[in-house]
Structures are given as structure tokens and as C-alpha cells.
A = this chain, B = another copy of it.
Amino acid sequence: MIDITLLGTAALFPIPNRALTAAVLFCGGHSILFDCGEGTQTAARKAGVSLMKTDIIALTHYHGDHIFGLPGLLQTMNSMERAETLYITGPEGLQEALEPILKLTGWTAYEIKFLEIPPQGIRLCELISGWEYEAKFLTFKTEHRVSSQGYCFKLGRAGKFMPEKARALNIPVQMWSVLQKGQSVQVDDETILPEQVLGEPRKGLKFIFTGDTAPCDSLIDAAKDADLMICEATYGENEQAQTAIEYGHMNFAQAAETAKSANVAQLWLAHYSQMIENPQQYLPNATAIFENTICGQDGMSTTLKF
């Protein structure tokens, strides 16, 4: 199960009732924040979700509207007596981009670590202590005017548990749930692997956060069959397609085309230009191409289930 809350949908600068584009994902008591513009911490409170225990802050790029909320959030975490290590990840240039941010933030009682995500992604249970689920976190290249990347969160789903096999191996019932979670157990000096009692792995869940980007193949590849994609859609009009590409953005139709090509289940639009007063007005430009498109709104939440 994955809970997603869209914290904001604005581009460039925050306006009343439209915070800068950011989202937070919760899974098994852990969480990842995607981007952190000015006001993201307030947007989270407004949406009724807490960022205080966020494990990873994943930045898509280093433009101000995606990072200026960091010093405030990092200080608030400190004043809330956070103790857990916080990982911050982002595209090339992370250390340099964060240097003035961390200078402003000042000393924190908790540790802040830069996280580099390799091309094959990371298993979160190997990074974050207490992360029980089989979840993978990956990045993909996007096409913005600066160094940028999008994120893919994949929650694995183990095969069906087969009690008859567990009984045949004399595994005590109390250990069944451990195996079901994909972990090994010891029975009379013998290591039992989850594969021994589970069927074929089943389709898991997949979430995509694009950040700012022009349409690109790497996004389509990464988003293949995703359950939900939060995609930038800076411009509303179909006629703005070329402008969008020039500025490293998309219009509603381009976001919908991306969703269609990637065969995602659901598309949420975000990162609206200030020129867009009412995103719903342009929604038909997207739904004409990809029906299951929703205009993202600040505070909107969903639960992705197996």
C-alpha cells in the first residue's frame, strides 16, 4: 500500500491556495518527499500529513521553486527533535546546490546525508533502518533546462504464500509472516528462503514523480505501466506545445501523451503556470488523449493498493 499526497501544484512562485509543486509518499511508516519549494512545510500541515519523519527528500532539480522550502523544513525538523538521519538526493550538482541551503539551516541534531542513487536504483530496506517492505527507488533522466531527474518508486509484491509448503518444511506458524514479507527464517539450523514457500512474485505498485521536464523517452520508459504518475503540466493550451519544449516543460496534452505512451493507470497534472487560473478549463486537452487524467489540486491524496 502506498499513500500519496500532492502538496502543491504551482510553478515559479507560491500563491494563496496553490503551493509550489511537491508530493509526499508514505509506505509502511516511512516516507519520501518529492521537491520542497517555499511553503512545502505549510502545505503539508494544511493537507494533514507530517514531514517530520521523512526519510528521503528527493529533489528533481535545483530551481528555487523546488528547493527554497528546505532551510525552513530542515530547521523545523530540528526544532521537533528529529533524531533519524535524513537523506537528500538529487541530480548532478547536489552538494554545490545544497551548500547555501545547509549554511542557512545551520546545525541540526540529526544527520543530513547526501544520497546518490545508482542506475539500478536502491532497495530501501538496505538504506533505511526499519524499512520492512520490498521497495525500490529509482531515478530517470528528464529534459529540463538544467541538470534534472524524475523518480520512480516501486513496491514489490511477493508471490502467494503456500501454507502446504510451509507445513511440509516444518516452519512454525509464527514465522510465516516473516517469510511473507520476503525475509528468511531459521528453522533448526536451516535457513528457509521466502522463495521456498512463496509463489511467483506478483505485480507490485509503481509511482512516478516527473519534476520539470519536456516530453522525453526516458520518462515514458520509466513510467511504463505505473499506477500513478504525477506529471508536470506547466501550460494549458495545445498551441503552447513548442513553447513548453523550449522551456523544458509540457502542456496538458503532452503530459497526457506521455501517460498514454507509458500506459500508466492514472495521471495527475501539476506545476501549473501562474497564467492558469483554473486548471479544469484545460483538462479536456488532456482527457482527449488520455482519459484517466485528473487536474492535481493542493492536498489531494490517494492510496495505491495491490
A residues with CB within 8 A of B: 12-16, 37-39, 41-42, 45-46, 64-65, 67-69, 71-72, 75-76, 79, 99-101, 103-106
Neighbouring B residues of A12 by C-beta, 8 Å: 76, 79
Neighbouring B residues of A42 by C-beta, 8 Å: 14-16, 38-39
A246 to chain B, nearest CB (A): 17
SS of A interface (majority): helix
Neighbouring B residues of A37 by C-beta, 8 Å: 72
Neighbouring B residues of A106 by C-beta, 8 Å: 64
Neighbouring B residues of A105 by C-beta, 8 Å: 64
Inter-subunit contact B64/A39 (CB<8 Å): no
A286 to chain B, nearest CB (A): 26
Cα A13 to Cα B12 in complex, Å, equals 22
Neighbouring B residues of A41 by C-beta, 8 Å: 13-14, 38
Closest residue of chain B to A102 (Cβ to Cβ) is B100
| Contacts A/B (CB < 8 Å), 19 sampled | A13-B79, A15-B42, A16-B45, A16-B46, A38-B39, A38-B68, A38-B71, A38-B72, A39-B39, A39-B42, A64-B72, A64-B75, A64-B104, A64-B105, A64-B106, A68-B68, A68-B104, A99-B103, A100-B103
| Residue in A12, A13, A103 with the greatest tally of chain B CB atoms within 10 Å | A13
Cα A100 to Cα B13 in complex, Å, equals 20
Closest residue of chain B to A12 (Cβ to Cβ) is B79
Cα A68 to Cα B105 in complex, Å, equals 9
**Cβ-closest 3 pairs across A and B:** A100-B100, A38-B72, A100-B103
Closest residue of chain B to A69 (Cβ to Cβ) is B38
Cα A38 to Cα B71 in complex, Å, equals 9
Closest residue of chain B to A64 (Cβ to Cβ) is B75
Neighbouring B residues of A67 by C-beta, 8 Å: 104
Inter-subunit contact B75/A13 (CB<8 Å): yes
Inter-subunit contact A72/B13 (CB<8 Å): yes
Cα A84 to Cα B72 in complex, Å, equals 28
Cα A41 to Cα B69 in complex, Å, equals 13
Selected from B45, B72, B104, the residue in CB contact (under 8 A) with A100 is: B104
A105 to chain B, nearest CB (A): 8
Selected from B15, B16, B45, B104, the residue in CB contact (under 8 A) with A101 is: B104
A73 to chain B, nearest CB (A): 9
Neighbouring B residues of A101 by C-beta, 8 Å: 100, 104
Cα A79 to Cα B104 in complex, Å, equals 23
Cα A100 to Cα B96 in complex, Å, equals 12
A77 to chain B, nearest CB (A): 10
Neighbouring B residues of A45 by C-beta, 8 Å: 15-16
